[in-house]
Structure 1
Amino acid sequence: MPWKLALNTFFYVYDHENELDIDTFKLLLSARQAAENAYAPYSNFFVGAAILLENGAIVKGSNQENAAYPSGLCAERTAIFAAGSNYPTQKILMVAITAKRKNESLFLAANPCGACRQVLSEYENKQNQPIKVIMEAGNGKVYTCDSVNMLLPLKFSSGNL
């Protein structure tokens, strides 16, 4: 007989960015700065990510598109791979993600795609410590969750191999 599996996902919803603590707000601002550096000539959708490391360093990434679409890379992965390459022993405390359209000043809702969720999950497993996720939610709202596991509750990991 089948049984039910309940998965609980909890997000904190902030009605305005000024409700965030100072470190979270600074990281969100860094993600917004990173979005300005996106190379998005095809989608005109500029995504920025910023990662806070345990040593206080902030590593930024932005989406990088390519005419051969599969060859591009999302902002979250450019940031996390840069952090892993340049700071291999530093744990990731938080990641902030935001997006905007070309020639617009309003930042939009930004949630990691499935591939980015999987990569973030790998780093969370690697460091054996949760990574807080901050996501611009549009209209001045911000969503946060305490772990990538909240975004990917039935994740694939080394235990599945």
Structure 2
Amino acid sequence: MIPVLHNTQSSQRLAEVARTVYGLGFNYLIVTKAVGSAAQVGVPEAQKLAYKFGRNLLVLADLSEAIELLQPRKVLLVMPGKYGGRGLHEALAEAAKELREGDKVFLVFGGVEPGLSQRELKLGEMVSPEGVEEDIGTVALVAISLYRVNELLRRQP
């Protein structure tokens, strides 16, 4: 499971997402299409957090580049429920059954409101964490989604 933050302009949002990802025990964070202060201030801050937590950060130009380079088995685009898509828990449970050791799954979060463009939504499957219907902000969406992922992973044998 690899969280991906795509298309952010906010250095604070990038740093908060990195702190959340690493604090919840995830080893990797991919940042794609960081622009403006996110690229100038946020990326160095996220690198500092990755080093502090002993984790990994990969910064790439675009989401399609990350998919091409790392070739994940699944790409799950996380959005609030009002935009549609399957439940996150259902999608993860199904993925767990079909994934082999070493397969990667991207959990992609949009870094600007309302999230991901129509072009980006074609790169994977849209999912939403159960109980999150409205726009609650990127950091909150990341925290809730990754917490639910951790719960699911703990329950698996």
Instruction: Identify whether the pair has TM-score above 0.5, normalized to the shorter chain.
Output: no
The structure, 1 or 2, with the larger RCO (C-alpha pairs under 8 Å, 6+ apart) is: 2
Structure with bigger helix share is 2
TM-score normalised over the length of structure 1: 0.29
TM-score normalised over the length of structure 2: 0.30
